[in-house]
Structure 1
Amino acid sequence: MRKGSIAASLFWLSAGWLIVALVTTGFLLTDLYSRALDRSLSETLNFHIESLAGALLETGDPQSQAIALTDPRFGRPRSGWYWVIRDVDGTLYNLSPSVVGIEMPDITGPASPTGRASTVMDDAFGTSLRVIERTVTLGPRSYEIAVTGNLSEILELVGDFRGQAFIVLGAVGVMLAMMSFIVARFAMRPIARLSAAIESVREGDSAAVTGSYPREIAPLAEEVNELLRSNTQIIERARSQVGNLAHGLKTPIAVLRNEAAATQGALASVVRAESDKMSTIVGSYLERARLTARTAVVGKKTNAVAIITRLIRVMGKIHPEVSVTLQPVDPALPWFRGDESDLEEIAGNLLDNACKWSTGQVEVRLEAERGEVGSNLVIRIDDNGAGLSEQDAHKVLRRGVRLDEKTPGSGLGLDIVKELVDVYGGTLTLQRSALGGLLVELRLPTARQGGGPPAAG
């Protein structure tokens, strides 16, 4: 997944939440398990205290050998399982065989409502103990019964459980992360399909966004189609208005020019001059409007190789004295994203100029290059003519400018080419050619291969 994508954001967000949730779950389960084991230990110790208290009350003698517990852990030294019976003054009366080399503490502090007190201590061997103590009254005397259980064993069990729990939760986390990745990718598939459908419209493979989409993004597809329909309607209205404006202005301008031509004098001369300017300005802006409307339609693309090949064949007939050659072209060369007639007008004007000013040799190359936004179709036209200076190269792109009045032409060809190139967002540069003449470099937007005009035969 690409950085910054929705799928990646969903994956990392869910993965981060899973880590926090699973770590929290691991500590929570460990705490619950530890509490359960400690509670079970306390219940076991309470049971042993009740057994010892019952035996003491039954025998009436705190030193009786009949007072004992059947749990074998109380007979093993250093087991952590001990019991003692003593009076309130601390005098020891009875103890388990496991009490060797340790001193049972006297638990201070208030007892629980059941008459028991509990604490945690370490024996002489470093074993952590849970201690529970109860006072039993026998006649005029009171005795304290203290029983301990091995708390270190529980802590080891808790540690083992914690390690196993985190291993299991880690495996669950990996599986959930994989599931999250799959779900994110699956959830993004409709958006990817919508993106591909819009790209298909932009590339000219389809006239509208097609396909069925989930309820969340279906309105977006409908809005895109509505925008395309609206754009087409606006362009059609613009074309109609441009035509109406042309017809509406041409007649009054023609009347003014005819009336001025039939009249002599200073006023007539001014009217003729200004009407000529008006005609030129109107023609210029109408041409711009026509070009903009024509190139604003989404979805057109053209096989540039077929168009250039056809134009080269035409130039061979118009200028038989000039050798026009097309260098080998990469079969995977992308197409021009635009109208066929526009590419013919652009390339035709440039080739015609190259043939006019060359001394017999013109070379054409078609390439693709990666630009800042996307790929560009590069058309390079070299001739072996006289070439242009840097100052003339800037001047010749102005409307109506001609550097040689002897060569036939109106001077509008390069200006129209520049207008079309600007409308498509391309670039046109004039440089010194390796052949000695002029190198024209034209960069235009590209589209995927497919559709478009048939290849030239």
Structure 2
Amino acid sequence: MAKMRKGSIAASLFWLSAGWLIVALVATGFLLTELYTRALDTSLSQTLDFHVESLAGALLDSEDPRSPDIALADPRFGRPRSGWYWVIRNESGQVVNLSTSVVGIDLPEISRSADSLGRSTAMLEDAFGTKLRVVERRVSVGDRRYTIEVSGNFTEIQQLVDDFRGQAFIVLGAVGAMLAIMSTIVARFAMRPVARLSHAIEAVREGERAEIGGRYPREIAPLAEEVNELLRSNAQIIERARSQVGNLAHGLKTPIAVLRNEAAANQGSLADVVRSEADKMSGMVTTYLDRARLAARTSLVGKRADAQLVLSRLVRVMAKIHSGVDIEFETPDTGVPWFRGDEADLEEMVGNLLDNACKWSSAQVRVRLGSARDARGTQLTVRIEDDGPGLEPQDVQKVLRRGVRLDEKTPGSGLGLDIVKELVDVYGGTLELTRSSLGGLQVDLRLPVARAAGPAPAAS
């Protein structure tokens, strides 16, 4: 089965919204900066237009264009290198009047064409590297024409824009952080029903519930209903399979018994062949019916068992059956997880292993119950050791075969370990046989665990 990719919907929503939020806030910051720049530039141009009108009015009121009465009240025009300059030129381009701030500066005329009002504007730089917004206008005084040129410090505007940009991004960053926190809270709140549904499904899988319960939003309520319907359908299919397995077993017993009886009543090679094949058929039917029953039993969802309680009960029973054997039962101080499966299956697996250990031991059997973690997660571990003769490495695989017994003197059918192996495989566990520190056989059984102990699931 292909490995499913795991990811968080809430995390995906957060990163998606965070990405768009960052783009939107950055774009908003640059847009606000651009709008602020245009607003300041427009305000500066309007201020310069006003100064041009003021100088034109003073020029019209004065008979001499060089008169000191032609001036502007703004003190910035009196400071050298301030970036605020004005000059008045005659028709030949000679400067006839200028502001005090124009010291060692030669403001060039604007080469752009004038509008219908005789007004031109441009961006220039003075000798000190200051950027200037320059407005130029031509006026007529009597029969003479003059050019009035006024400039403002555009570098100051750029500094204001830089300050505004920094403050805007700080504010937008704070707004973005608050929106990110809000989106995280909203995503977590919106995903709560999904988390509850996930926990409910896990509770069913772990055996805490027989079906999904609770109320869910209409977006995911159909999913919960479909899962419950799937569980009910699965239970019905398994029940039908059990019934069919039982019917098949009863249906085959009679024909096989008839073949055996007929073969026993006759002599000859044909009777021997029929008797031999009937025995094979009986063995195969028993094997596959057992496997079918195991598969049907372990396919039920919602089964779990208290492993410590089951093993304690088995140890007490085996101590009475094998009174001459000292059975030592050890459990960790922190407790052990529950077995995820049918209690009867756990009893059958551990019971067979413990019974074999008692049969083969000299006087001592040790049982340890615990848990361990590996690549598949936490697993229930059962270790059974005895002080008997043990097994050679080459005999380990032999004893796991159906009906194989290495010692015919010891009572038994030889099917115990094979049944255990079948159950272990069905549950996805592992069974390992090695040499024990007591001198005999050590059996390590690993099985899946339920999530937590708790009340048994209600019967469906």
CA contact (8 A) 2:208 2:456 kept: no
2:238 aligned counterpart, secondary structure:
helix
Higher mean C-alpha displacement, 258-267 vs 13-22: 13-22
Q: Does 1:355 align with 2:363?
A: no
Matched with 1:162 is 165
Match runs of 1:29-428 below 5 Å:
29-59=32-62, 61-428=64-431
SS of alignment partner, residue 186 of structure 2: helix
Query: Are 1:330 and 1:367, in contact at CA under 8 Å, matched by a contact in 2?
Result: no
- One-letter amino acid of the counterpart of residue 198, structure 2: S
Distance 2:301 2:75 in 1: 90
Partner in structure 1 of residue 455 of structure 2:
451
* Aligned-residue offset at 1:331: 4.0
Q: How far has the Cα of 1:39 moved from its partner?
A: 0.5
Q: Contact 1:80/1:129 (CA < 8 Å) preserved in 2? A: yes
Task: Indicate the SS of the match to 2:449.
Answer: strand
Greater Cα offset, 122-131 or 185-194: 122-131
Which moves more between the two structures, 123-132 or 167-176?
123-132
Structure 1's 336 and 210: CA in aligned 2 closer, same or farther, altered over 3 A?
same
CA–CA distance in structure 1, aligned partners of residues 344 and 117 of structure 2: 101
Check conservation: 1:120, 1:129, Cα contact below 8 A: yes
* Counterparts of 2:122 and 2:96, CA distance in 1: 22
Q: Report if the CA contact (8 A) 1:303-1:452 is conserved.
A: no
Paired residues of 1:74 and 1:97 also in contact (CA < 8 A) = yes
The alpha-carbon deviation at position 380 of structure 1 amounts to: 0.5
1:93-118 deviation digits (Å, cap 9, x = unpaired): 22223322222211112223432111
Q: Distance in 2 between matches of 1:442 and 1:85?
A: 104
> What CA deviation, in whole Å up to 9, does each residue of 1:391-443 have, x standing for no partner?
11110010010111111111111111111111111111111111000001111
2:152 match: secondary structure: strand
Q: Which residue identity lines up with residue 263 of structure 2 in the other structure?
A: A
For structure 2, the residue ranges without an aligned partner over 5 or more in a row are: 1-5
State, as a whole percentage, how many aligned pairs show the same letter. Answer: 71
Which residue number in structure 1 is paired with residue 3 of structure 2?
A: none
Give the TM-score normalised by the residue count of structure 2. 0.94
Q: Is the contact between residue 84 and residue 150 of structure 2 (CA under 8 Å) also seen in structure 1?
A: yes
1:65 deviates by: 4.0
C-alpha deviation, 1:142, in angstroms: 1.7
1-side partners of 2:117 and 2:442: how far apart?
105
Deviation of the 1:120 alpha carbon: 1.7
CA-to-partner distance for each residue in 1:132-188, whole Å, 9 max, x for gaps?
111112343321110111212211211111111111112112212211222222222
Q: Quote the Cα distance in structure 2 between the aligned partners of 1:305 and 1:438.
A: 22
Counterpart CA distance in 2 for 1:385 and 1:440 is 13
Deviation at 1:61, TM superposition (A): 4.0
- The Cα offsets for residues 290-327 of structure 1, whole Å up to 9 and x where unpaired, read as 11111110111111111111111111111111111101
Query: Aligned equivalents of 2:117 and 2:25: distance in 1?
Result: 39
Relative to structure 1, the CA distance from residue 330 to residue 355 in structure 2 (aligned partners, 3 Å threshold; closer, same or farther) is same
Q: What is the SS of the residue equivalent to 1:335?
A: coil
CA distance, structure 2, for counterparts of residue 406 and residue 37 of structure 1: 107
Structure 2 CA distance, aligned partners of 1:256 and 1:61?
A: 143
In the alignment, which residue of structure 2 is the partner of 1:23?
Answer: 26
Alignment of 1:433 onto 2:433: no
Is the 2:331–2:370 contact (alpha carbons within 8 Å) kept by the matching residues of 1? Answer: no
Whichever residue aligns with residue 455 of structure 2, its letter is: G
Q: Is the alpha carbon distance of 1:20 and 1:395 closer, same or farther for their aligned partners in structure 2, counting shifts above 3 Å?
A: same
Q: In structure 2, what is the Cα distance between the partners aligned to 1:387 and 1:146?
A: 112
Which segment is superposed worse, 339-348 or 111-120? 111-120
For structure 1, which segment, 100-109 or 348-357, has the greater mean C-alpha deviation from structure 2 after superposition? Answer: 100-109
| Deviation, structure 1 residue 264 | 1.6
RMSD: 1.7
Q: How many angstroms does 1:73 deviate by?
A: 2.5
What is the alpha-carbon distance in structure 1 between the residues aligned to residue 331 and residue 378 of structure 2?
Answer: 20
Matches of 1:271 and 1:175 in 2, distance apart? 85
